[in-house]
Amino acid sequence: MGRFVKIGGVILVLILAPRLAQAQTAAPAPLRALCPDRPAKGTSPCTLDAGHFQIEFGAMDTVHQRTAGVTSLQTAIGATTLKYGLNTRTDLEISLNPWQRSAQTGQASSKGFGDTVLRAKVNLGDQDGPGKWGVALAPFIKLPTARHGLGNGKVEAGLIIPISRTLPGNMSLGLSPELDLIENADGSGRHLNLINVVGLNLPLSDAVTGTVEVWSNTDFDPQATVTQASFDLALAWIPSEQSRLQWDGGLNLGLNRKTPDTEVYFGVSRRF
């Protein structure tokens, strides 16, 4: 019996050895195209390749609003999202806001560290299939790490359902419906907040993509329902010789009095 086991082991080694050698010498699978969640407000259904890291860095983001003679200015510097590809369909993300400042006419400004967001994104479709619908689920939780005056000090959560569709001419349509459960303004409980984003991505050249979006946010607070809306424009540049790097910037324009008048931002993303 022992002799037959040894012979069987030798035969198994002879069969598997060429395959193991081929697996070790085979080139690694090519990475998917770089696909950050910035710029613009929409979220893409694509996830990061397994075993890779990605950083999405907001160099500066400034929001300006003037209502009834009162001017508000909010600034964020260094807002960063770190991603890790857990497997071929899932990535894990953490978003940090190391420095924010909120100022309003006639009031003392607040500045310091902002809230932290933990998120997972699970892609439900074929990320490499052209001309198909892409759908993902992106649940998240907000941790109240912001200094007083920059956050409400409450744990909040929500779910984003990113959707995309490739269109003729290398264009793509993006949808990002989002449902949040957030604290009431008077602290008495929680209510729903609904966000909708509809965007169109337009290739302006081999390296530059433009995005046009319409964004809305409806806050169903028991005291009063408030709806905001904006028309957003963004540009993203991925240098042809650096396919893992993206530079971007954007301008958001408020469409009603409840929405900030303008938001201007720029940043960079890098996959490792």
pLDDT, tens digit, 9 for 90 and up, residues 140-173: 999 999 988 899 999 999 999 999 999 999 899 9
pLDDT, tens digit, 9 for 90 and up, residues 196-233: 999 999 999 999 999 999 999 999 999 999 999 999 99
Q: What is each CA distance from 198 to 165, 195, 212, 216, in whole angstroms? A: 12, 10, 8, 9
Q: Could you give the 3-state DSSP secondary structure of residue 244?
A: coil
- Which of the following CATH numbers is that of domain 2-271: 3.40.50.20, 2.40.160.40, 1.10.10.10, 3.40.140.10? 2.40.160.40
pTM above 0.95, yes or no: no
H/E stretch holding 226 reads strand 224-237
160 pairs with which residues across the strands?
A: 138, 178
pLDDT, tens digit, 9 for 90 and up, residues 22-80: 545 555 678 899 999 999 999 999 999 999 999 999 999 999 999 888 999 999 999 99
Burial 231-267 (b: 16+ CB within 10 A, else e): ebebbbbbeeeeeeebbbbbebebeeeebbbebebbb
The domain segmentation of the chain, as residue ranges, is: 2-271
Given a cut of 60, is residue 93 above it in pLDDT? yes
What is the spatial distance between Cα 180 and Cα 219, in angstroms, rounded to a whole number?
A: 9
- Within 10 Å of residue 25's Cβ, how many Cβ atoms? 7
